[in-house]
């Protein structure tokens, strides 16, 4: 695992700390002809060798560098095919980490993967998945009759409320698993403070009641899910 962590640290340093925005822009513009693409690969090779600090691992560093080059090159040419530019970015990072994982555990790849899957807490995974999108959809169905009566006179980010709800429920679940119930109260207080100005300016009783019901329902679902996980 230490070997993998060293490779992963090298990747973080090379891809995020030692890659200026100007390099990224130049690569996107020139693609395979960009000098910064090759400089970026050399940086990755150098950082990997530096962190491993063992010349006998030069082959691993070369494999990682070549794989990094091919993945980055594929990303540069396929990004325009995606509607959202962040999709190829996450695919790119996932492939990089997968290469590091294979290189780190190539001698016992299946055994290590099996051990990792055995360590997964299935109950916690089910709880986390439920409090994300499924709970949001369920809330939407329950609040739908009320939502039809709300007139919004202000603009907001698309789907912002949905993602705020998902994040807050995941936090609540984490706090319950950690036994930090006081942190849930702090989270409710923080959300109330941020919502206060909006409710004060709108002066809309229906909106206030709608947000209050939605907040309590969201926290309630997360708390019940956390308690079920803790007791089953």
Give CA–CA dist 211/232, Å, rounded. Answer: 32
- pLDDT at position 192: 75
Among candidate residues 38, 45, 44, 54, the one with its CA nearest the CA of residue 2: 54
Q: What is the pLDDT of residues 13-39, one digit of tens each?
A: 999 999 999 999 999 999 999 999 999
Tokens standing for 46? 């150098």
- Phi then psi for residue 180, to 5 deg, are -100, 70
- pLDDT at position 116: 85
Query: In sequence order, which residues have a C-beta less than 8 Å from that of residue 187 and are 6 or more positions away?
Result: 168, 171, 172, 175
Give CA–CA dist 73/41, Å, rounded. Answer: 11
- pLDDT at position 31: 93
Contact in structure between 189 and 132 (CB atoms under 8 Å): no
Torsion, Cα 196 220 151 149, to 10 degrees, reads -140
Instruction: Kindly provide the b/e burial profile for residues 151-169, where b requires at least 16 CB atoms within 10 angstroms of the residue's own CB.
Output: eeeeeeeeeeeeeebbebb
Give CA–CA dist 221/86, Å, rounded. Answer: 31
Among candidate residues 98, 48, 102, 96, the one with its CA nearest the CA of residue 73: 96
Tokens standing for 167? 């994040």
Q: How many CB atoms lie within 10 A of CB 190?
A: 11
With a cut of 70, which residues of the chain have pLDDT below it? 148, 150-157, 195-205
Sign of CA dihedral 197, 201, 203, 208: negative
- pLDDT at position 56: 93
Give CA–CA dist 117/115, Å, rounded. Answer: 6
Among candidate residues 75, 47, 74, 48, the one with its CA nearest the CA of residue 60: 48
Q: What is the pLDDT of residues 50-72, one digit of tens each?
A: 999 999 999 999 999 999 999 99
Tell me the chain's radius of gyration from C-alpha atoms. 24
């Amino acid at each position: 695992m230490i070997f993998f962590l060293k490779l992963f640290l090298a990747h973080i340093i090379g891809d995020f700390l030692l890659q200026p925005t100007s390099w990224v822009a130049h690569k996107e513009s020139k693609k395979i002809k960009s000098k910064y693409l090759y400089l970026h690969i050399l940086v990755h090779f150098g950082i990997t060798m530096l962190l491993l600090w063992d010349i006998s691992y030069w082959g691993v560093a070369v494999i990682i560098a070549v794989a990094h080059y091919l993945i980055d090159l594929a990303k540069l040419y396929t990004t325009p095919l995606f509607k959202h530019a962040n999709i190829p970015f996450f695919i790119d990072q996932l492939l990089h980490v997968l290469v590091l994982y294979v290189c780190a555990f190539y001698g016992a790849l299946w055994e290590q993967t099996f051990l990792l899957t055995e360590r997964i807490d299935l109950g916690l995974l089910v709880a986390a998945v439920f409090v994300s999108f499924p709970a949001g959809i369920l809330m939407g169905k329950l609040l739908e009759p009320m939502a039809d009566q709300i007139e919004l006179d202000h603009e907001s980010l698309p789907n912002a409320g949905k993602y705020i709800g998902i994040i807050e429920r995941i936090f609540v679940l984490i706090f319950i698993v950690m036994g930090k119930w006081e942190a849930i109260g702090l989270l409710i207080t923080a959300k109330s403070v941020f919502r206060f100005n909006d409710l004060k300016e709108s002066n809309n009783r229906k909106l206030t009641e709608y947000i209050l019901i939605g907040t309590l329902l969201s926290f309630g679902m997360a708390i019940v899910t956390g308690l079920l996980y803790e007791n089953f």
